[in-house]
Structure 1
Amino acid sequence: MAFEITDDFLENLSELIISKDDKALTILFSEVHFADIAEVLDEVTFDEAIYIIKLLDSEKTSEILTELDEDTREKILGSLSAQEIADEVGEMDTDDAADIIGELSEERQKRVINALEDDDLAADIKELLSYDDDTAGALMAKELVKVYETWTVAGCMRRIRGQAKDVTRVHSIYVVDKEDKLVGRLSLKDLIIAKSDQKIADISKDTVDSVNVHEDDEEVAKIMTKYDLEAIPVVDDNNVLLGRITIDDIVDVLKEEADKDYQMAAGLTQDVDSDDSILQLTKARIPWLFLGLVGGVGAFIIMEGFQDVFSKYAALFFFTPLIAAMAGNVGVQSSAIIVQGLANDDVKGSINSRLLKEMLLAALNGVILALFLFFFVWAYEGKIDLALAISASLVVVIIIAGLIGTFVPLFLNKRGIDPAIATGPFITTSNDIFGILIYFMIAKLILGI
């Protein structure tokens, strides 16, 4: 049965904390998953959260800290001493420990690392913190199981037992040479059925996917997704094995990238959430809102230049929102498909072939919609030339909007700019302006004004 945070649960929890009934609190959380406890800490007061963190053992609270909302975790870490934080990260995998310590100021980072009892852990964390953000090095964990190709199966089994106790999940066994260079991988099945005196080199597979320590984390995610990997080893420029990246870390990368792309598509220039300050939210939103304002002014100037058209065919004015809306919608649809394809590495072939396909698709959709609009305008206004002008304009506007929505993200991607920026107000505004301009030009041409 799934754990549920109810008002009764929170009320009971507060009463236990007020009465300092530590035994009852320990029993209460003994069967609760650390991810659920993290949700509880987000619901209670700050003082109550600190009380719970300091009450539970470090083995459990270390897991809780990794699941907490960043703002909540920052506040909790700020109330803990360097030694208390060191006790917590001492129970974590190196990648999680580095992430937690990386959120602290440089001064606190040094104090926490110096307070660690395990010198090897301290060295590993320092190494992970030295890598640039958004790289495989910053994402990897140092815990892994590796064996030397010269070992025998019997010797390998003994050494694996010693290594595996520090590894949460053993996805793969990596084989290295005497210089610690990655040369292959070993399956547990092959290890178990092999003869005890066989060399590891004789039973290992020399094909193994790996990523460079400086590889972009999004590229790592693409590789692991493409080859359906649960873990992938990380090597340096000399192919020396440094660590491994597991699928749970990649899920976090994909989630963060999806959140970022969603916000960019919505017209937010920074990574923000609903709890941020009004000033932060304003900074994130105002650039794209200003772009929309500029687009509106541009549409006004265009429409003002076609006053002679309005004076003879006032109905054209009332169909302007429809044309602008269709242009914006088609552009966003086209760009969203392309951006998704680029993110999943599914967009292949030349830009020209993509544009041709989108033009044919837009033309088909435009004709279908225009036929409906033609008969509606003809029946409603009783003017076949007006119906032809509006429906023909719609076809051309949809084709142009589809081409813009396809070309812009492909162009941005070629220039190394995140194409997600194209799916929001940028495409909508540009298509609104072009759509209105094309609409009146075609209408003026057909109506002979």
Structure 2
Amino acid sequence: MVPFKLSKELISEIQTLIVARQDGQLQAMLEDVHYADVAEIVNGIDHIKQATYLIKLLDSDKTSDVLTELDDDLREAILKRLSVKEIADELEELDTDDAADIVAELPPERAKKVISHIEDKEHAKDIIELLRYDEDTAGGLMAKELVQVNENWNVLTCVKEMRAQAENVTRVHSIYVVDDEGRLKGRLSLKDLLTTSTKTHIKDVYISNVDYVDVNTKDEEVAKVMSKYDLEAIPVVDEMGRLVGRITIDDIVDVIKEEAEKDYQLAAGISQDVEADDSILELTRARLPWLILGLFGGLGAVFIMQDYEEFMSNPELQDLFFFTPLIAAMAGNVGVQSSAIIVQGLANDIVKGSLWNRLLKEVGLSLINGLALAVLVLAFGYIMNYDISFSLTVAVALICVIIVAALIGTFVPIVLDKRGIDPAIATGPFITTSNDIFGIFLFFYIAKLILHF
């Protein structure tokens, strides 16, 4: 299969066919194109009317999936141009989790009308149930479509029921076993099912060891469980232990992607989930708080430097000011490196053991790095004919700054995580600003001790 590649020429050709109302040619051209690629085409069409026309033209069994792949703003704009009945027809073709996501984006009154137009009332009931859960929980992620069998059935009855249920399931990852109350008991191996007598009861062959999550489990925790145990799907139970749905790997990939994007923005000093095409007001609200923090941090550094203004009046010490950017930059870089490693470890749940042991390890690592960089500073001082005490001052200060910055970069994310705050916030301007201030203070304080001014 040749990978699909979107081009301006293809977009232009499709738009020309739309303007000319060449419906048959458009349908033939896109008939064998994967829905994700069709979504890429629709995303590339500049005119919303033409994008909507294409969605209305194609069959709902394809465009329903296309809608789930569209950019959020474009999907919202297209949904506004579809009738209540047209949206309901699209939802009929989707799994309940994807259908619930689209309904959640609609205004409340319109959402009610759309649900009332869904002909499959069981499907509509499942969508309504999923809307009760917060979107960042297992309940908000799960789909109702799954294959479940009763532990009291024999193998023959089980196979008949599975055939009926599988018609509504896109992909059968697992066969779940429940009791008469619907409580999850375990999972059924397809191999055991095929090699067991048709009269054997399921309770005699099912596997009781099954990983599951509660409807209120946070999506990040679900992602950790599925990643740890390499699961393609995981069952979801309610507060009474009853099987109510399943979460598949495609939904978890979306969660991981969104979390990575959020952490990246936090690390860059953006406090809200924004995109490049958001309004100026939204982008300003997301960026300005951290810029203000950086401003105050810079002002703090100014006040520290003013306390040591006698450097400027001493010709032998004036050159120290030229090294302040070096000290501040190294402090910020080391702090960000340390915090990034810790944040990654916390995200993957591999930061274990004593905090003190981790801090001691970081001190050892920083000492090695600091000594290596200090040697380079001393060599630079020798080449530039700086006084040995001057070069030694910069070198010692650099070692101390690196150690302190590494400790802050390690300590802060762990403390934030224990207090329920996203530790990714520590990899951005928070760490950089604090380490700049500490770095400049340590630099001048150590200079004062060594040079005796």
Instruction: Please give the secondary structure, in 1, of the residue aligned with 2:168.
Output: coil
User: Aligned match of 2:288 in 286, 289, 294?
Assistant: 286
**C-alpha distance in structure 2 between counterparts of 1:65 and 1:380, whole Å:** 64
Q: What's the CA shift string for 1:116-154, capped at 9, x where partnerless?
A: 111111111111000122000000000000000111111
User: Aligned match of 1:326 in 304, 313, 330?
Assistant: 330
Deviates more, 1:190-199 or 1:61-70: 190-199
Q: What's the CA shift string for 1:1-47, capped at 9, x where partnerless?
A: 11222222222212211221111010010111111111111111211
Contact 1:233 1:244 in 2 (8 A): yes
**C-alpha distance in structure 1 between counterparts of 2:226 and 2:313, whole Å:** 62
Give the aligned partner of residue 436 of structure 2: 432
Please report how far the alpha carbon of residue 337 of structure 1 lies from its aligned counterpart in structure 2 after TM superposition.
0.4
TM-score for both structures, normalised by structure 2:
0.98
Letter in 1 for 2:145: E
Letter in 2 for 1:273: E
**C-alpha distance in structure 2 between counterparts of 1:390 and 1:311, whole Å:** 19
Deviates more, 1:184-193 or 1:433-442: 184-193
**C-alpha distance in structure 2 between counterparts of 1:406 and 1:382, whole Å:** 34
Give the aligned partner of residue 416 of structure 2: 412
Instruction: Please give the secondary structure, in 2, of the residue aligned with 1:282.
Output: helix
**Correspondence list, 1:326-365, <5 A:** 326-365=330-369
Letter in 1 for 2:48: F
Give the aligned partner of residue 448 of structure 2: 444
Letter in 1 for 2:451: L
Give the aligned partner of residue 196 of structure 1: 198
Please report how far the alpha carbon of residue 188 of structure 1 lies from its aligned counterpart in structure 2 after TM superposition.
1.1
For the aligned residue pairs, the C-alpha RMSD in angstroms reads 0.8
Letter in 1 for 2:349: D
Give the aligned partner of residue 2 of structure 1: 3
**C-alpha distance in structure 1 between counterparts of 2:178 and 2:146, whole Å:** 12
Please report how far the alpha carbon of residue 381 of structure 1 lies from its aligned counterpart in structure 2 after TM superposition.
3.4
Contact 1:366 1:399 in 2 (8 A): yes
How many residues were matched structurally?
449
Instruction: Please give the secondary structure, in 2, of the residue aligned with 1:381.
Output: coil
**C-alpha distance in structure 2 between counterparts of 1:187 and 1:69, whole Å:** 39
TM-score for both structures, normalised by structure 1:
0.99
Give the aligned partner of residue 179 of structure 1: 181
Give the aligned partner of residue 167 of structure 2: 165
Give the aligned partner of residue 23 of structure 2: 22
**C-alpha distance in structure 1 between counterparts of 2:163 and 2:406, whole Å:** 59
**Correspondence list, 1:31-430, <5 A:** 31-44=32-45, 45-312=47-314, 313-430=317-434
Please report how far the alpha carbon of residue 408 of structure 1 lies from its aligned counterpart in structure 2 after TM superposition.
0.5
Contact 1:309 1:444 in 2 (8 A): no
Q: What's the CA shift string for 1:205-242, capped at 9, x where partnerless?
A: 01111101111110010000001111000001211000
Letter in 2 for 1:307: E
Letter in 1 for 2:85: Q
Q: What's the CA shift string for 1:33-91, capped at 9, x where partnerless?
A: 11111111111121111111110010000010010000100000011111110000110
**C-alpha distance in structure 1 between counterparts of 2:436 and 2:122, whole Å:** 60
Contact 1:5 1:40 in 2 (8 A): yes
Unaligned runs of 5+ in 2: none
**C-alpha distance in structure 1 between counterparts of 2:422 and 2:252, whole Å:** 19
Q: What's the CA shift string for 1:279-300, capped at 9, x where partnerless?
A: 1111100000111111111111
Q: Percent identity?
A: 59
**C-alpha distance in structure 2 between counterparts of 1:447 and 1:17, whole Å:** 78
Letter in 2 for 1:48: Q
Contact 1:211 1:232 in 2 (8 A): yes
**C-alpha distance in structure 2 between counterparts of 1:411 and 1:14, whole Å:** 54
Q: What's the CA shift string for 1:175-221, capped at 9, x where partnerless?
A: 00111100110011111111111111111101111101111110010
Contact 1:378 1:386 in 2 (8 A): no
List structure 1 segments (4+ residues) > 3 angstroms apart after TM superposition.
none
Instruction: Please give the secondary structure, in 2, of the residue aligned with 1:234.
Output: strand
Deviates more, 1:93-102 or 1:192-201: 192-201
Q: What's the CA shift string for 1:230-284, capped at 9, x where partnerless?
A: 1000001211000000010000000000000000000001000100011111110
Contact 1:185 1:206 in 2 (8 A): yes
